[in-house]
Amino acid sequence: MTTEAKAEQMTFQAEVNQLLKLMIHSLYSNQEIFLRELISNGSDACDKLRFEAIADASLLEDDSELQLTVQYDSDAKTITVTDNGIGMNRDEVIGNIGTIAKSGTKQFLESLSGDQAADAQLIGQFGVGFYSAFVVADKVSLTTRRAGDPADSATRWVSDGTGGYTLENTTKESRGTEIVLSIKDDSTEFLSGWRLRGIIKKYSDHITFPIMMYEENPAPLPKDEDDAEDDKEPETPEPQLEKINAASALWTRPKSEISDEDYQAFYKQICHDYEDPLAWTHNRVEGNQEYTTLLYVPKKAPFDLYESMDRAGGVKLFVQRVFIMDEAEKLMPRYLRFVRGLVDSNDLPLNVSREILQNSKAIESIRGGSVKKILSLLEGIAEKEPEKYLDFWNEFGRALKEAPGEDFANREQVAGLYRFDSTKGDKPGDLVSLADYIVRMQPGQDKIYYITADSYTAAKNSPHLEIFADRGIEVLLMHDRVDEWMMGYLNEFDGKQFMSVAKGELNLEGVGTETKKDDDAEDADVESLTKRLKSVLGERTEDVRPSQRLTSSPACVVLGEHEMALHMQQLMKQAGHDVPGSKPILEFNASHPILKLLDQESDEDRFASWSELLLDQAMLADGAQLEDGAGFVKRMNEMFIALHQSSES
Ligand code: ADP
C-alpha cells in the first residue's frame, strides 16, 4: 500500500505537548472516552462529506454508504477506527492534527490550577478530541485521503505522543481516515469486542452513521486439528460486519420514546461535554415552518464564555437530517451563546450557506421560537427547582444580562430571570428576583431602587443607602461589571421604573416609614454653608446641595440621571476609552457633626481644606479614584495636626 517515501519529522507546538501530558494524566480514570472522541470525529467527517456531496455527488465515488468501523487485533495489540468521510489532505493533517487549531488554548492551559480533579473537568469542557487516543495508545498512526483526491495522494501521520510526529505521502485506496492505535500494556482491557461494543453503545449509540464491528466468533477456532480430514466443509465463514449503534437521529423520534439517559448521552456525544446537561427542551414545530429543535443548557460555562465575546453559538444546523453547519450563530442571540444542541429544518434548502442564513426569514422565525423555548425552560427551572436555577444563574447569569442591549423584544421576559443581591440579604449570594422585590415593596413605593458598584462590599456600604435603610426600602445591590451597562437598556419591569439611588433627584416623600425628624437638633445653617461650599468646590462639582439621602454619613456624590457611575467611568478610562468628564453633585448632611463644625469654621483657608476633604471622601466612597491623591493625603494630615493642636490649646 505504502509508496516508499521518506517520512518527514515534525515537532509539536509547545501547547500540544503540555496538553497531551495533562490529558493523559487527567483522563486516567476515564480512559474509555478515547473511542467516543475518535468516533465523534469520524462522524463529523461523514457529516462534512455528505454536505459537500450535495454540491458535488462525485465525491462519494461508488461508496455512498457513509459509516465507521471499529476493529481490534489482540495479537498485534491494536484498535483501528475507520471512516469513509471527508478525509484530510496533507495541509489539513498538519493544520488539524499537528497543531491545536483551537483559539484560546494558551489561555485555557493558563487557567488550569494543577488540581487534578478540577483540571480533568476543564479538559472535558475544552473538548479532548483526537489526542485522547494517547490516553490508551503509545503510538497512533493516522492514514487519510481527502474525498475527490487521487489514491496516491494520501497522508500518513504517526506519533508516539511525545514531542513530535512523522508525516509521509502514501497511497490509500478508499477515501476517508483510518486510525490505528497501538495499545499500551496497561490498557489492554480495551482489546475486547465486548468492551468496545459496550463503549460504543454507551457513548455513541446516537451517532447517525452506522458504527460497524466484525461479529465475534462464538468459540475459539480449532486451530491445529485435522482440517485436512473434511475438505468439503468450508473454512469458518468470514466474519460479517454488524451495526453496533442505533444510528437513528434521536431528535426525530417521538419524545415519549426517549429516556433521560438517551438525551444525556446524545448531549455528551454531540456537544463533547464530560458532564450531563443541566436541562434540555425538545420540540417539533409544525405549521408555516416545520422544524425540530433539541436544545441543551450545559451545567458549566466554557472557560472562555465571557472572554471571547464573538464566540459563536453552539447550535448545529441540520436540514432534513443532513448536518449543514456547526455553530450557526444566527440560530441564537449572543446572550444565549451557551445553549447547545441542534435545529433541524424541513424548509431550508440543503445548499444553504452562512450568507443565506443572514437574511433568512425562516431562520429568524426559528430563532424566535428557540429563544422562547429556552426562556420558558429556564422559567420552569426557576420556579420548580430554585437551587438548580441558582447554579445556572451563577454560571450563565452574566450572559443573560447582555439581553436588554441585544434583544429588545424579550428584555422584560429575560429580566424576569435575573437575580440580584439586595440590602435585604445577609451576605453576598442571598439573591432576589425582580418579581420578589416588587412583592416586598413598601407602601407608596413605585420604583425599583438599585445601586451599582464594583464590589458587593462597596455597594452594601454605600452612603447612598442610608435613607433607604432608614425607611425600610429594599435596594438591589448590583456589583457585576455588566450591570451598569445593562441598566442603560433596562428602564422598567412589570410597569415599575428602575431608579439608581446614586443618580438624579431623590424624592421618597410618603414611601416607607417616615423618618422622625429631630427638630430640636441644631442643623448647620444650610443656606450659608451651601454658599460657602460652592465657592470652594465650584470647579470640581456640578452643584452642592443639602441631602435627602444621608443619615449617618457627612456627604455623598450624586450623578445626573443619565450619567455613568463613577466606578464605571474609572474602568472605561483604564481601558483607554475617552470618558466625557462629568462633574458630580455634592450632597451634604446638614445634621452631621462634621458639617456643623465646618459651618463654625471661621478660618477660610481651613474651611477650604476641609471642604475639599469632604468631597474627596465622598468620591472615594463612590468607587472613584481621586485625581489628586497626594493632595487628599496632605489635607488629611493637616487636619490631624490641626485637631491635635486644638486639643492641646
Ligand atoms: P475537534 O474535533 O474538537 O475539532 P480534534 O482534535 O478531535 O478536535 O480534531 C481536530 C480536527 O482534525 C477536526 O476538527 C477535524 O478537522 C480533523 N479531524 C479529526 N479526525 C478526523 C477524521 N476522522 N476525518 C477528518 N478530519 C478529522
pLDDT digits (tens, 9 = 90+) for 524-535: 688 999 999 999
Please tell me the predicted confidence (pLDDT) of residue 608: 92
Shared-domain flag, residues 471 and 581: no
Residue 430 has pLDDT above 60, yes or no: yes
Residue 329 has pLDDT above 60, yes or no: yes
Please name the residue whose Cα sits nearest to atom 20 of ligand 1. 41
Shared-domain flag, residues 431 and 534: no
Ligand 1 near 472 CB (within 6 A): no
- Overall average pLDDT of the 513-525 stretch: 63
Shared-domain flag, residues 196 and 210: yes
Report the candidate in 113, 112, 250, 84 with the shortest Cα–Cα distance to residue 174.
84
Q: Which of 55-69, 132-146, 315-329 has the lowest average pLDDT?
A: 315-329
Please tell me the predicted confidence (pLDDT) of residue 271: 80
Shared-domain flag, residues 379 and 258: yes
Q: Give the number of C-alpha atoms closer than 13 A to the C-alpha of residue 454, restricted to the C-beta side.
A: 15
Please tell me the predicted confidence (pLDDT) of residue 3: 45
Write a three-state SS string for 364-393.
Answer: HHHHHHHHHHHHHHHHHHHHHCHHHHHHHH
Shared-domain flag, residues 442 and 557: no
Ligand 1 pocket mutation pick from 12, 41, 132 by most atoms within 8 angstroms of CB = 41
Of the residues 481, 515, 549, the one at which a domain ends: 515
pLDDT digits (tens, 9 = 90+) for 545-604: 998 889 889 999 998 888 888 778 877 887 788 877 678 899 999 989 889 888 998 899
Cα-to-centroid distance, 498 and ligand 1 (Å): 49
Please tell me the predicted confidence (pLDDT) of residue 353: 75
Please tell me the predicted confidence (pLDDT) of residue 1: 46
Report if residue 308 sits inside a domain: yes
Report if residue 121 sits inside a domain: yes
Shared-domain flag, residues 511 and 523: no
Q: What is the number of H-type helices and E-type strands within the chain?
A: 21, 23
Report if residue 227 sits inside a domain: no
- Overall average pLDDT of the 252-277 stretch: 88
Ligand 1 near 96 CB (within 6 A): yes
Ligand 1 atom nearest to CA at 81: 23
Report if residue 204 sits inside a domain: yes
Shared-domain flag, residues 510 and 531: no
Ligand 1 pocket mutation pick from 40, 44, 103, 269 by most atoms within 8 angstroms of CB = 44
We report the CATH number of the domain holding residue 120 as 3.30.565.10
Shared-domain flag, residues 307 and 331: yes
Ligand 1 near 132 CB (within 6 A): no
We report the CATH number of the domain holding residue 388 as 3.30.230.80
SS3 165: strand
- Overall average pLDDT of the 44-56 stretch: 92
pLDDT digits (tens, 9 = 90+) for 172-187: 999 999 999 999 999 9
Which cell is 10 given? 515534525
We report the CATH number of the domain holding residue 497 as 3.40.50.11260
Please tell me the predicted confidence (pLDDT) of residue 2: 44
Residue with cell 477650604: 608
Cα-to-centroid distance, 44 and ligand 1 (Å): 8
Query: What distance in Å separates the CA atoms of residue 380 and residue 395, rounded to the nearest whole number?
Result: 17
Residue 457 has pLDDT above 80, yes or no: yes
Question: If you average pLDDT over every residue of the chain, what do you get?
Answer: 87
Ligand 1 near 129 CB (within 6 A): yes
Please tell me the predicted confidence (pLDDT) of residue 232: 58
pLDDT digits (tens, 9 = 90+) for 209-233: 999 999 986 555 555 555 555 555 6
Please name the residue whose Cα sits nearest to atom 17 of ligand 1. 96
Residue 17 has pLDDT above 90, yes or no: no
Of the residues 492, 515, 538, the one at which a domain ends: 515
Please tell me the predicted confidence (pLDDT) of residue 133: 92
Report if residue 400 sits inside a domain: no
Ligand 1 near 83 CB (within 6 A): yes
Query: What distance in Å separates the CA atoms of residue 48 and residue 148, rounded to the nearest whole number?
Result: 13
Report the candidate in 220, 217, 137 with the shortest Cα–Cα distance to residue 182.
137
* Range 531-559 burial, b when 16+ CB lie within 10 A, else e: ebbeebbeebbbebbbbebbbebbbbbbb
Quote the pTM value. Answer: 0.74
Q: Which of 112-116, 363-367, 408-412 has the lowest average pLDDT?
A: 112-116
Report if residue 71 sits inside a domain: yes
Residue 73 has pLDDT above 80, yes or no: yes
Would you place residue 358 in the very low, low, confident or very high pLDDT band (cuts 50, 70, 90)? confident
* 580 CB burial (10 A radius; 0-12, 13-18, 19+): exposed
Shared-domain flag, residues 204 and 65: yes
Of the residues 486, 515, 544, the one at which a domain ends: 515
* Alpha helix positions (H), 179-283: 193-204, 260-271
We report the CATH number of the domain holding residue 593 as 1.20.120.790
Shared-domain flag, residues 260 and 376: yes
**Are the CB atoms for 445 and 473 separated by under 8 Å?**
yes
Percent of the chain exceeding pLDDT 90 equals: 53
Percent of the chain exceeding pLDDT 70 equals: 88
* DSSP structure string for 276-331: PPSEEEEEEE-SSS-EEEEEEE-SS--TTTTT-TTPPPEEEEEETTEEEES--GGG
Please name the residue whose Cα sits nearest to atom 10 of ligand 1. 96
Report if residue 333 sits inside a domain: yes
Shared-domain flag, residues 468 and 362: no
Shared-domain flag, residues 46 and 130: yes
Ligand 1 pocket mutation pick from 23, 40, 50, 96 by most atoms within 8 angstroms of CB = 96
**Tally of domains within the chain:** 4
**Which H/E stretch holds residue 597?**
helix 593-600
Report if residue 223 sits inside a domain: no
**Which H/E stretch holds residue 620?**
helix 604-621
Ligand 1 near 504 CB (within 6 A): no
Ligand 1 near 127 CB (within 6 A): yes
Residue 522 has pLDDT above 70, yes or no: no
Ligand 1 near 85 CB (within 6 A): yes
633 is in which domain, residue-wise?
519-648
Strands 476-478 and 447-452: parallel
Ligand 1 near 140 CB (within 6 A): no
Ligand 1 pocket mutation pick from 130, 174, 340 by most atoms within 8 angstroms of CB = 130
- Overall average pLDDT of the 405-424 stretch: 95
